[in-house]
């Protein structure tokens, strides 16, 4: 049985109700990953802090190793010169060697101080790294918990969308195919709002004032009328309604 225009419009309103909810749920779904941004950024910042601290520790260890090697070389020179003290034949040579030994020992004392300082800095850095690692572990756990929560919410949204889509599918055979195609084209272009109500003077989808003749045609429901401004299919809003179709 061929349906009247009024009946077709009533069917489209049922589509609009379902499609509006489907679009809203899809927007909610698309926004869900952004809820993890703060946790992700905090975790990534702490990981960068950990990497920087570990690099600083490696640099300290390299510097300490270099100074230890330098100290070892100077101690070796001291031993060598001390042996030579017993072999020199003049006071001048003896004094020169004593001076060299004194300089090497002074340099060695400075190196020992540097090595001790680097050891202390290394210990402090290790302690800092342990604290940062604990914070990384805490933030990782927090992120995973929030990620699991968001995933659960997305799955629930998917379930609702699938349910609404299934209900929508049962209506498809009842509406004129060309009219449905027309409606769906508008729906996509208007982000989920293919129809808009009118009040006494205007389209409530875009708030554009409409000629009285267009308002009358919408009320008669004898043909499909669209808004010249926003292209939405128009229908009559209940009297006194403040309903708006704008997005």
Please check whether residue 224 is in contact with residue 179, taking contact to mean a CB–CB distance below 8 angstroms: yes
Residues 75 and 197 in one domain: no
Residues 50 and 148 in one domain: yes
Spatial separation of the C-alpha atoms in residues 38 and 69, rounded to whole Å? 47
Write down which residue in 127, 142, 170 finishes a domain: 170
pLDDT, position 245: 45
Write down which residue in 120, 155, 170 finishes a domain: 170
Spatial separation of the C-alpha atoms in residues 43 and 39, rounded to whole Å? 6
pLDDT, position 110: 96
Domain extent, residue 191, equals 176-236
Instruction: Tell me, rounded to whole angstroms, the distance of Cα 85 from its chain centroid.
Output: 72
Residues 163 and 180 in one domain: no
55 assigned to some structural domain: yes
242 assigned to some structural domain: no
pLDDT in tens, the chain (247 residues): 668 999 999 999 999 999 999 999 999 999 999 999 999 999 999 999 999 999 999 999 999 999 999 999 999 999 999 999 888 889 999 999 999 999 999 999 999 999 999 999 999 999 999 999 999 999 999 999 999 999 999 999 999 999 999 999 999 999 999 999 999 999 998 888 999 999 989 999 999 999 999 999 999 999 999 999 999 999 996 554 444 444 3
Residues 99 and 140 in one domain: yes
164 assigned to some structural domain: yes
201 assigned to some structural domain: yes
Q: Where are the beta strands (DSSP E) in the chain?
A: 195-198, 233-236
Please list, residue by residue across 220-246, b when 16 or more beta carbons sit within 10 angstroms of its beta carbon and e when fewer do. ebeebbbbeebbbbbbebeeeeeebbe
Dihedral in degrees, nearest 10, Cα atoms 4, 10, 15, 21: 170
Tell me how many domains the chain contains: 2
Encoding tokens for residue 109? 């004392």
Residues 37 and 112 in one domain: yes
Class of residue 137 by CB neighbours under 10 A (exposed 0-12, middle 13-18, buried 19+):
exposed
53 assigned to some structural domain: yes
Cβ neighbors of 198 (< 8 A, separation 6 or more) are 204, 210, 215, 218, 234, 235, 236, 237
Q: Which long-range contacts (CB under 8 A, 24 or more apart) does 144-149 make?
A: 146/35, 146/36, 146/39, 147/36
156 assigned to some structural domain: yes
Please check whether residue 195 is in contact with residue 233, taking contact to mean a CB–CB distance below 8 angstroms: yes
209 assigned to some structural domain: yes
Q: What is the pLDDT of residues 151-186, one digit of tens each?
A: 999 999 999 999 999 999 999 999 999 999 999 999
SS3 assignment, position 39: helix
For residue 184, what is the enclosing H or E element? Answer: helix 177-189
245 assigned to some structural domain: no
Residues 77 and 124 in one domain: yes
118: CATH = 1.10.287.1490
Residues 82 and 153 in one domain: yes
Write down which residue in 170, 190, 219 finishes a domain: 170
What does the DSSP 8-state code read for residue 33? G
Residues 74 and 133 in one domain: yes
Residues 99 and 149 in one domain: yes
Residues 76 and 147 in one domain: yes
pLDDT, position 86: 86
The answer to whether the predicted template modeling score (pTM) of the entire model surpasses 0.85 is no
Residues 162 and 191 in one domain: no
Residues 141 and 222 in one domain: no
Spatial separation of the C-alpha atoms in residues 39 and 147, rounded to whole Å? 9
With CA atoms as reference, report the closest residue to 218 among 37, 13, 47.
Answer: 13
């Amino acid at each position: 049985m061929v349906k009247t225009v009024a009946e077709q419009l009533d069917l489209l309103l049922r589509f609009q109700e379902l499609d509006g909810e489907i679009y809203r749920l899809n927007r909610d779904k698309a926004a869900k990953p952004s809820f993890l941004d703060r946790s992700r950024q905090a975790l990534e910042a702490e990981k960068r802090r950990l990497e920087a601290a570990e690099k600083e520790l490696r640099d300290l260890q390299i510097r300490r190793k270099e100074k230890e090697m330098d100290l070892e070389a100077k101690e070796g020179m001291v031993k060598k010169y001390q042996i030579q003290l017993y072999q020199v034949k003049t006071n001048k040579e003896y004094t020169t060697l004593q001076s060299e030994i004194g300089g090497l020992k002074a340099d060695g004392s400075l190196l020992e101080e540097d090595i001790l300082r680097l050891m202390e800095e290394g210990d402090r850095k290790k302690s800092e790294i342990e604290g940062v690692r604990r914070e990384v572990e805490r933030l990782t756990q927090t992120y995973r918990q929030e990620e699991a929560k968001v995933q659960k919410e997305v799955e629930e949204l998917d379930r609702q969308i699938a349910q609404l889509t299934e209900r929508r599918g049962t209506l498809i055979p009842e509406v004129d195919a060309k009219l449905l195609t027309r409606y769906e084209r508008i729906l996509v272009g208007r982000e989920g709002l293919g129809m808009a109500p009118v009040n006494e003077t205007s389209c409530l989808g875009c708030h554009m004032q409409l000629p009285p003749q267009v308002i009358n045609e919408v009320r008669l429901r004898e043909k499909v009328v669209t808004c010249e401004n926003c292209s939405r299919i128009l229908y009559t809003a209940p009297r006194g309604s403040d309903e708006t179709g704008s997005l």
